[in-house]
Structure 1
């Protein structure tokens, strides 16, 4: 039996992001990855910042879905689900057209880690891939 929170458990809520969430998504993503900043090479750090800004700027792209995890403290996690054929920014500034669905920028605030939020966000991406008829899901963890 799963111990993960349900989609609308009293402590957690998982939902498709709304326009008013973009600032919180950016903050939680930067906070989640910020703790590794010293370990990221300087040129990679600048590329990551540009890529993240481009992805956040593409918030109106129907081929990209931001999903969020809310706790009592607001948005505590986020993940970007990209449909196949989505055109997404690469870290070098070029554009890439995806051939398979992808999960990108999985982020959980350090204070909310260990609660199963990241696991549940990935389950949502897996289900979204199945919903569109895909048997695969790429989990993007490194620059293109």
Structure 2
């Protein structure tokens, strides 16, 4: 299968929101309030310094996955500091798993962060997302436990921070 990664189009925002919400809600990775945020792809699409990417099957144009790339100044940065670029909300449809969709999206984020001259690409992920952890480590991301964080006080577990050094 050939994958195409590109910036999202306005007419795809409802589908992108549903894909993202379906993945996080279906796997128990998000509570009801955050699922509402995930469903609102338009909020990410219109935000400054924020790029919403989609991975598509090049033959059918079906959206198989999505990710948010947040550059400095993006309201979607949680972990990014200074000139770092961050990616968030990586979602691959369950039916597309094992086909390289997530890796293709992460590689697109790496390339765009390099092109932007970012010193590092950062992300945070839940402790239960072990397949994602393996992917990030295989691509050169390093765990940075001192940057682990909790977005809400009621969360039991910290989100795990990963960093990929792009320069130096």
SS of 1:27's partner is helix
Given candidates 72, 79, 103, the residue that maps to 1:84 is 72
Q: 1:35 offset after TM fit, Å? A: 2.3
Matches for 1:21-36 after TM superposition, within 5 Å: 21-36=12-27
1:15 aligns with 2:2: no
Would the alpha carbon gap of residues 54 and 21 (structure 1) be closer, same or farther in structure 2, given more than 3 Å must change?
A: closer
Q: 1:113 offset after TM fit, Å? A: 0.4
TM-score, with structure 2 as normaliser: 0.64
Larger RCO, structures 1/2 (Cα 8 Å, 6+ apart):
1
User: C-alpha separation between the residues in 1 aligned to 2:61 and 2:9?
Assistant: 17
1:129 aligns with 2:113: yes
Q: Return 5+ residue gaps in structure 1 as ranges.
A: 1-9, 91-95
TM-score, with structure 1 as normaliser: 0.74
1:115 aligns with 2:103: no
Q: 1:77 offset after TM fit, Å? A: 0.4
User: C-alpha separation between the residues in 2 aligned to 1:117 and 1:123?
Assistant: 10
Conserved? CA contact 2:17–2:40, under 8 Å: no
Q: Supply the RMSD in Å over aligned alpha carbons.
A: 2.5
Conserved? CA contact 1:87–1:98, under 8 Å: no
Would the alpha carbon gap of residues 88 and 12 (structure 1) be closer, same or farther in structure 2, given more than 3 Å must change?
A: closer
Count of residue pairs brought into register by the alignment? 125
My pick for the range that moved more, 69-78 or 51-60, is 51-60
